[in-house]
Structure 1
Amino acid sequence: MPFVISISGAEKIGVSVACQRLYHALRHTHTVKIVDMKTRNNVMAFEDDLLTDEYKDFDVLIIDKHPYISSALHRNLRSSLFDDDSVKPDISFVMVCRFDTYKLRRPQAKVSYNLLDSYATSAPKYFGTDNHHRIACDGADGQLACAGKIIAKVRKELTRCK
């Protein structure tokens, strides 16, 4: 079973870029695949493929933006994103930033303060694992530093799991 990493965050905050940077950092030592999960059908197909050993040749799978997260946050996370029988990540990250920083970077984005705050304040159990980290991407080199923190934590976790 591959090591599953979930990276989430608000729209246009840099989640896909962080996934790409993580992929390029790990590809020299591990076989890595980024699984793009933009729709519910992709989630169902991913779980079926993982359970039928379609990904057995990979050491690491990176889940890019689980689609249930934003809809669950709109519902104030009344239940977990993952069922008892669904595939859960080994480690999960959520990229967060302050509302004023987000609006400065993305003036046209239609994200409410409550939704952005929900990413930062929601409990780890909703993301499928207790090994959950909030990574702040504020500051001048926010996305780059954010990706670096994710890479460091994943490498540490991969070393621990060997």
Structure 2
Amino acid sequence: MATSESADGHTAGLLTLGKLLDGDAAVGPDRTRIAVQALTTGADYLATALGPGVPASVPSTVDVADLLVGLHITVHRLHTGLQQLHAGIARRTIVGDVPIVTAAKLQSALGIAVERLGTAALTLGAAGALLGSEPPAPERLSGGSGRR
């Protein structure tokens, strides 16, 4: 069981991450790497929490509904971001320095990922609705501060 001290440390870490990745700050490769690392760390936790730890991590229907809505929002935002990356590759404004054949293969692979993420976002939203969760407001789907 987490102590109050460790919970305070986690809260402070989240606040620091939130400030670092605040929507008002400039984007850049270093901040992108940090965001990917944070997302990967969260995904690692969820893989464990939703595997062997599932009875403790989502003990109620409300917890499952909250989880599904949170994942729906996250996957929708990733879908939107990857759509933009995909479009940039198609216009050759991103990775314009790689051979055209490589860019075409990358664009094709990302196209598949974008399509599947879109389907996953819709499916997670529908699953949450089965448990009576409120659909997220459009501004929560499109981005903003990322805070729930």
TM-score, length-scaled by structure 1: 0.28
Whichever structure has more helix as a proportion of its residues is 2
Greater C-alpha Rg: 2
Whichever structure has more strand as a proportion of its residues is 1
TM-score, length-scaled by structure 2: 0.29
